Amino acid sequence: MIITMKAGATDKHKKAIQIKIRKLGLDANHLIRGKERTVIAVVGDTKSVSEAQFATMPGVEHVVRILKPYKLASREVKKNNSQIKISPGIVIGGKQIHLIAGPCAVESLEMLMDIAKQVKRSGATMLRGGAFKPRTSPYAFQGLGEIGLQFLAQARAKTGLPVVSEVRDLRSVDMVARYADVLQVGARNMQNYDLLIELGKTKKPVLLKRGLSATLEELLQAAEYILKGGNNRVILCERGIRTYERATRNTLDLSAVPVLKQTSHLPVVVDPSHAAGDWRLIESLSRAAVAAGADGLMVEVHTEPDLAVSDGGQSLKPKRFTQLMKSCRKIAAAIGRSL
């Protein structure tokens, strides 16, 4: 249920609404302030609560019951697109499309610095790199841990690129938050609800990847866990889903971009690298994602893909990444956006 306040509603009016909501045993902490009006989201089991209980209170313009299972992520709560500020000059969800680029896994400081400098030169605005790597095989490279995070922080200090890195479990949340600008939730952890609840308590932006076989509704409900906890800085990521098709690593669901844009106010990023699993397909899929309305791309780049400890086959060399940037800029310009 959402309560839209009148343009002239006072803080006293809003506080009275919140007090009544709490007396009903519901969560009243979610205020969405627009330029003219404030919306109060009533979170919890509202089946026994009627719209009439709030409709006649001072300052209330109208009350609407949200039928979707995700409340705070829905367009019904917020009509305008959410814009997530990462750092000064970098906002996800605005007119500019942002490129998040870097290696799948942080392997060494020298390698990371080299890649960071080259992707920034090509136009990337953020640096990605995994310090904790949840892998299918327990024998595969699991990441450098805190040392990898320290390398990422050094690369940020040298290049100015904000850092995106994955949080693997509850124990690593505080550690990753100390070093990274954006906390990534990998596909395997999309429904790790304890982790999502913990991330709802942080102030850092969260990049939430779609699960391997998750529906879009399930993705939005996962986002709801973070939003309900008080962290409204959530970015959705389409990274391909598992289907019967074996020509690619996963099937990139580009229809997810416009569907999510219609149903949610949260920004949407596309990861063509994990979808394709093949560097030869990344540029085409990136162009298609930009045309579909993505707010950003997450692309794996490595100076020596053949020697990469993780996902070398889907990593672009820096020169290829430069070409991708050039071609995607043309698509962005054609739809009235910049890159």
What number of CA atoms fall less than 13 Å from residue 119's CA on the CB side? 35
In a shared domain, residues 175 and 265: yes
Pairing of strands 60-64, 38-43: unpaired
In a shared domain, residues 171 and 247: yes
Residue 123: phi and psi, rounded to 5, are 120, 0
In a shared domain, residues 16 and 124: no
What's the domain count of the chain?
Answer: 2
In a shared domain, residues 9 and 104: no
Buried/exposed code over 31-66 (b: 16+ C-beta within 10 A; e: otherwise) = ebeeeeebbbbbbeebeebeeeebeeeebbeebeeb
pLDDT for residue 28: 82
List the pLDDT tens digit at each of the 339 positions of the chain: 889 989 889 999 999 999 999 999 888 888 888 777 888 888 888 888 888 889 999 999 989 888 788 989 999 888 899 999 999 999 999 999 999 999 999 999 999 999 999 999 999 999 999 998 777 778 777 788 999 999 999 999 999 999 999 999 999 999 999 999 999 999 999 999 999 999 999 999 999 999 999 999 999 999 999 999 999 999 999 999 999 999 999 999 999 999 999 999 999 999 999 999 999 999 999 999 999 999 999 999 999 999 998 889 999 999 999 999 999 999 999 999 999
What number of CA atoms fall less than 13 Å from residue 126's CA on the CB side? 30
Residue count of the chain = 339
Residue 157 lies in a domain: yes
The phi-psi region of residue 145 (left if phi > 0; otherwise alpha if psi is between -120 and 50; otherwise beta) is left
Place of tokens 């990898």: 148
| Tens digit of each residue's pLDDT (9 = 90 or more) over 152-202 | 999 999 999 999 999 999 999 999 999 999 999 999 999 999 999 999 999
pLDDT for residue 325: 97
Helices (H), 87-160: 109-122, 146-159
In a shared domain, residues 92 and 56: no
In a shared domain, residues 261 and 144: yes
Share of the chain above pLDDT 90, in %: 78
Question: Residue 328 sits in a domain of what CATH number?
Answer: 3.20.20.70
Residue 233 in contact with residue 206, Cβ under 8 Å? yes
> What does the alpha-carbon distance between residue 84 and residue 91 come to, in Å, rounded to a whole number?
5
- Alpha-carbon Rg for the chain in angstroms: 21
In a shared domain, residues 31 and 88: no
Q: What letter does residue 189 receive in the DSSP assignment?
A: G
Q: Which two tokens stand for residue 258?
A: 């416009």
What three-state secondary structure class fits 87? strand
In a shared domain, residues 124 and 239: yes
Residue 224 lies in a domain: yes
In a shared domain, residues 145 and 189: yes
Q: pTM for the whole thing?
A: 0.91
Question: Residue 50 sits in a domain of what CATH number?
Answer: 3.30.70.1140
CA nearest 181: which of 315, 84, 55? 84
In a shared domain, residues 157 and 257: yes
In a shared domain, residues 20 and 168: no
In a shared domain, residues 176 and 206: yes
Domain residues for the domain of 56 are 2-64
